[in-house]
Structure 1
């Protein structure tokens, strides 16, 4: 996922904002690291499925904090809105699609294979369903057709895919300040209307509990690129208020009724406020001085870590819980997952991502030129093309 911003950024009226920072935004990597560790902490120290007993008894102190780790997902969505808007700027819809597919799928395929292997050999926490379920999971589309996720953490990927599909409309029209603000307004309206509307398609794409974070992320990037103004602050403010509305529902979905009733909600509201505040500081350039060299490397591991840590990690904890004390087991499994995530990033995600990106770019170029790279001349007779055939009219969006 690209995290580069332009050094010379233009205001909506054509002016350039002085001092707009360029280069990689290391703070984004730091936020990703904290969000990934928060989710891991929640799964390992708040869920009972791994330990076979209430985690409040296993980690009396840590459990009080771990029950809020699910908020790392919301922070991921917030960062995603910022990064997708930034990385899509100036790209065609074909380039946007290539960047998303080559970024998401290599590590995901490795994670599905790894998790399936673990669950097949140690079906202690979760059993592998039908082989067809594993095959469908490789598409990342299982959430749309009711096929169970191999790993419960994958539900967020389908939410991300919805966001990409919606934002692809902006890319087709051109990623501009005006179009991004219009997109934020329309998606906000859809998220407000969807819960009371009897429309399956609207409810499917509105994603009302997640959209406030994506939209706020987009607004924060517009602040970063063009400078803050009242409209962008209003967008962020509305999203913050909407996000607060869904805290209780998210706690129920993450913790269950019993734990939710015993867990105060105010820390969750405070963490969301903190996330918005940090992103606002990033948008205004207040965190540009953070340029620790290790952050980009750590940030690169967060995606594969997120993909592999849950079901495989819970299985390892469950398998060794009688032989290893809780704290060393927690730390050991976490270290193991981080190491495996780095191996996937280094030996799968990076090389396979490059190959996939190059192949897809050539495929998109073939579509643009209407001349596939390897025509089958022995099976298809040569025919003269009509004058002007397959030309893209001036002013139309390119693939």
Structure 2
């Protein structure tokens, strides 16, 4: 969901004394200088728009209050398709596995932590305060949380502490934080190498399966069996990006992760057809979207989208995180104002709401992230 600067390629490290002859299938790819993986920026925004479509028109709950009716009635044709938008989260996790492995390779633990904190928190703090202020307005139909709960939310640890969330989407940030901690302790701290990363992927896959079998809540919390395969699959795709398409271990990592990931996606999102359910997602549809996510990130990893080098994709990548933070709850308010107060039709309200949330994301990026991120990063790691 979040990404550092995405640069392609890396120089190969010089072999140490007594090292075995290098195998041709795992050479580091070199392209004559770094270039930003702009296609991955565009894919991140696409995943965020999928989630936004789900929150606005693919589910019930609070958004029905904003529309004044069920979104299933507002979008009888598109609604069933928007219901698949929640799978954008799984695609986010695959992308996160890729970019965190990229950004953590060769970094010290302090630099890695500084990069993650400075990337996550400025826009997050601004989103927490903005949603709280808007929900506290007397003419807004949604209720703000108590001050103590809002303050706790600033830590990003509200979910394990059992505190109500200001932002509905922040449960995914809790999953991201646990992934960062595992990767930092097992890979960044001892120093990233191909062998260590492969061992981390294999060990986490097995440990997550054992945690699922043990039905132990603490192990589930730490190892995240339902999300681990997506992060691990992204790491495997980064290995393909770094060492090339002839690395069989990287392919095996990706394949096993996809097989396990589609299982958890189907188990979590499929249900029998029911007249009382908001929507129905078919097993084939869920598997197809998970597969497309893996394939698209894999195509970027293997350089198939190098032609997509448009600068606007970098802007799209920069807007993704603040858009993801603010789009749901503030979107409820905008939908209510446009549709119920101003009387705009639903198919005009939906794209206009998305556009306004993108504009707000741009303002948060320019006014909050750009000035605060480098300052916070230097404060944590002056080097």
Q: Same fold (TM over 0.5)?
A: yes
Larger displacement relative to structure 2 (197-206 or 84-93): 197-206
Contact 2:270-2:281 at 8 Å conserved across structures:
no
| Correspondence for 2:76 | 60
Q: Show the counterpart of 1:3.
A: 6
- Structure with higher Rg: it is 1
The alpha carbon displacement at 1:47 in A equals: 2.7
Q: How large is the Cα RMSD of the aligned pairs?
A: 2.3
Per the alignment, in what secondary structure is the counterpart of residue 266 of structure 1? helix
Q: CA deviation at 1:233?
A: 1.1
Moved more, 284-293 or 214-223: 284-293
TM-score normalised according to structure 2 size = 0.89
Cα drift, residue 11 of structure 1 = 10
Structure 1, gaps ≥5 residues long = 366-399
- Describe the superposition over 1:66-124 as per-residue Cα deviations: whole angstroms up to 9, x where unpaired: 00000111111000000000011111100000000001100001110111112111686
Correspondences of 1:189-228 after superposition (within 5 Å): 189-228=206-245
Q: What does the per-residue CA deviation read over 1:357-380, in whole Å, with 9 as the maximum and x for residues that have no partner?
A: 111113xx6xxxxxxxxxxxxxxx
Could you tell me which of 283, 302, 309 is aligned with 1:265?
283
Shift of 1:193: 1.0
- Following TM superposition, by how much is the alpha carbon of 1:354 offset from its aligned partner in structure 2, in angstroms? 1.3
Q: Is the 8 A contact 1:7 1:23 kept in 2?
A: no
Change beyond 3 A, Cα 1:298–1:311: same
Normalising to structure 1: TM-score of the pair? 0.85
What residue number does 1:139 align with? 155
Q: Does 1:324 align with 2:340?
A: no
In structure 2, C-alpha distance between the alignment counterparts of 1:199 and 1:295, rounded to whole Å:
42
Deviations 1:13-71 (A, max 9, x none): 38443548731101110111110111111111123332232222101221121000001
Q: Secondary structure at the match of 2:81?
A: helix
The reply to whether residue 46 of structure 1 matches residue 58 of structure 2 is: yes
Is this contact kept in 1: 2:10–2:29, CA < 8 A? no
Q: Residue deviations 1:216-239, cap 9 Å, x none?
A: 100111111112322111111111
Q: Shift of the alpha carbon at 1:311?
A: 0.9
Work out the CA distance in 2 between the residues paired with 1:282 and 1:321: 39
Q: 2:250 matched to which residue of 1? A: 232
- For 1:287 and 1:21, locate their aligned partners in 2 and report how far apart those are by CA, in whole Å: 17
1:27 is matched with which residue: 39, 46, 64?
Answer: 39
Aligned-partner Cα distance in 2 for 1:235–1:261: 33
Q: Which runs of 5+ in 2 are unaligned?
A: 16-21
Q: Deviation above 6 Å: which 4+ runs of structure 1?
A: none
Tell me by how many angstroms 1:196 deviates.
Answer: 2.1
Q: Aligned with 1:321: secondary structure?
A: helix
The equivalent of 2:330 in structure 1 is: 312
- Answer yes or no: is the 8 Å Cα contact 1:191–1:206 preserved in 2: yes
How far apart are 1:201 and its partner, in Å?
2.9
1:390 paired residue number: none
| Structure 2 residue matching 1:4: 3-state secondary structure | coil
